[in-house]
Chains A and B, each alone.
Chain A
């Protein structure tokens, strides 16, 4: 059987999730490997979510938020930007492939961009293969 990646998508309610909605209503085609979880803001994302997702078997994690300066709560994504940058560095230094974690700013009107990013990211994870480093095996 060919490898089907499992991807966790975490999307902010005001921009990326609405953008994903738009991608759906405009009938854009994109791979179904991403399971999207909606959070109210990208700064709601606890870094442990990402580590835990990898442990529980995610092959990739995609985080979507508003463009800097456009946050519904004014400054949420600016904090998130610093926080997620550190997550990236930690994953990298621990030996995880850096390509398995991606952050994108996608606004509510960018349905096209959402579909494009998901397509690209799924392809990238497909090439990287199954994630085995963090995954807990019994």
Chain B
């Protein structure tokens, strides 16, 4: 049985207050109320009294790991993570963007969240097949056990069944709608490059104005840059103002990486992301 959102919110407030009062952390990354309950905002609590502003409800979807890399190295940070977000934290630790010792991870086990636009349930099927964080110091609710594990890749089946002409027509139509606001890049915990390849002038990898050519270049390269690192939180899709299902492509790449290299992203801090690693016995068949 999962702990209620109200209870988790209370636990989160208490932990945040205690951590800030004791001085063990300089800031706590959590959520606060936006203009209504459906639109919570990411929130940085910096002193014990800030802890009262923290909330947690079923619409708290933002992946807070996004905000870890913004602070100078060595800042002690406590971060509230849902199961998918905890994998993002693990990848950031693997990539040495943050140090494990600087973090206090407040894990939140959840059965399902809700998409604030559509009220669609976001459960283990859409967020990497997990109910509990893979890495945490303090668990803010009861560990969820006994729930059926559904493959996160099941949603891909209809797209994999399309033939290549249909699939091209689908992606062409979707990607042409992109307005290049870069919300996907801003929401993504793994997109921390500065500058991003698409912002460069030399070399100019793709057209910067919205248009079929530049959009394709931006998104295809982004799919590749996130290969073996994408932890399937689905924030790119929820952040997108024109609702392009980018998460489907990322999911497909994650699935292929898992099949080819036997490694799902962000499951253990002792491993490396798939593309910065190799094995002599990787099969050449993967290239055929």
Contacts and interface: CB of A to CB of B under 8 A. Distances in A.
A84 B197 CA distance: 19
Interface residues of A, number: 31
Interface string A76-91: 0011011111111110
A136 B256 CA distance: 28
B224 A86 contact: yes
A15 to B, nearest CB: 15
A71 B256 CA distance: 26
B224 A81 contact: no
A77 to B, nearest CB: 9
Contact of B220 (A68, A84, A94): A94
Interface stretch (A18-26, A31-39, A95-103): A95-103
Given A133-B168, A136-B213, A51 B253 contact: no
Contact of B167 (A52, A79, A86, A93): A93
A82 B280 contact: no
B169 A95 contact: yes
A51 B213 contact: no
A86 B253 contact: yes
B253 A85 contact: no
Given A48-B197, A86-B256, A79 B278 contact: yes
B165 interface: yes
Q: Which of B168, B169, B220, B223 has the most CB of A within 10 A?
A: B220
A105 B170 CA distance: 34
B164 A96 contact: yes
Interface in B252-286: 252-253, 256-257, 260-261, 274-280, 282, 284, 286
Interface string A39-60: 0000000011001100100000
Contacts of A83: 224, 275
Given A82-B261, A94-B220, A95-B167, A88 B287 contact: yes
Given A47-B221, A90-B253, A136-B212, A69 B280 contact: yes
A68 B283 CA distance: 10
A134 interface: yes
Nearest to A98: B164
Interface string B130-167: 00000000000000000000000000000100001111
Contact of B286 (A55, A69, A81, A92): A81
A75 interface: yes
Contacts of B104: none
A40 to B, nearest CB: 17
Interface string A105-131: 100000000000000000000000000
Contacts of A55: 206, 213, 216-217
B171 interface: yes
Nearest to B276: A79
A78 B171 contact: no
15 contacts: A48-B217, A48-B221, A51-B220, A55-B216, A55-B217, A68-B280, A78-B280, A82-B261, A85-B260, A86-B228, A86-B275, A90-B253, A94-B220, A95-B165, A95-B172
